[in-house]
Chain A
Amino acid sequence: MTLKRSILLVDDEVSILRTLRMVFEHEGYEVATAANAADAIRLLTRNGCFDAVITDLNMEQEDVGLEVARAAMDCKPKPAVVVCTGFASTKNSRAALAMGIDYMAYKPVELDDLISALNRLILRRQDSGGRN
């Protein structure tokens, strides 16, 4: 029996959350969602055992998704952390690079690329015992 991979999706646009939930459930993931950064950080600090986290950047505040990413990166084992944004800037991209975010996708997202990157990141994370 194989355990389902788990993923936390964070976006303040309900339609995006619904679409991504459908996509990742279809891919065999167990999906949790949060519609704002505060809820996401609460979920991560309470039961942070997700294999992956995909977060929007601009929600209740500009670039607050970086706070979600930071909370995710503090989890042990560390999930694969993906930032997804329609408002990329030099400032937030540089901050994401400095934090060691695993993947950055710009909206509109190529779903095939996102799924394949996520699968690769999760496999590598499993190989390294969540150290990377």
Chain B
Amino acid sequence: MAKTPSPKVTQSPRMALIVHSDLGVLSNLQSTLSENGYTAIVARDLPTALLAITHHYFDVAIVASQLKEGGDGWPLAGVLHLVFPRAFVSVLAPSDGDVLTLQSAINYGVREVYRESSPAQEVVRNILAAVDPSRNENTRVQ
């Protein structure tokens, strides 16, 4: 008797949410994440980001600290941390090293802060290294 083929276990693609008002930044991060096997959903404003949160389960999120007004990205990052507690939520901020920025990161449950001027490749490389340390030595981003 022929063996019944066992059902294929399909792994759903890893999802990333990028929220930034600058189309160029969105595009760079999206393509870098896509090159690394992520399906990246982009949002330029808060309503679109909230809609995306209700439609997908995110493993990674990159949020600008400023969407419309200074600092309004932080609460969104906090919401992402609450909704997806295992996700790697990061914020792009004008500074990644001052005490108040780091305090916001801690209190909103953000895992890492990157300087907004950092190249997309560097941000994504750091995120992937944190999410999956085994990729550290063999990352596709050079």
Contacts and interface: CB of A to CB of B under 8 A. Distances in A.
Interface of A: 88-90, 93-94, 96-97, 100-104, 106, 117, 124, 128, 132
Tell me what chain A mostly uses at the interface: helix, strand, loop, or mixed.
Answer: mixed
Interface residues on B, range: 10 to 19
A100 B85 CA distance: 12
Contacts, number: 38
17 contacts: A88-B103, A89-B99, A90-B99, A90-B102, A94-B97, A94-B102, A97-B102, A97-B106, A97-B110, A97-B111, A100-B111, A101-B106, A102-B106, A102-B109, A103-B107, A104-B102, A128-B85
Nearest to B106: A104
Contacts of A103: 106-107
Q: Which 3 A-B pairs have the closest CB atoms?
A: A93-B102, A104-B106, A88-B99
Contact of A90 (B85, B98, B105, B109): B98
Contacts of A89: 99
B141 interface: no
Interface of B: 82, 85, 97-99, 102-103, 105-107, 109-113
A15 to B, nearest CB: 24
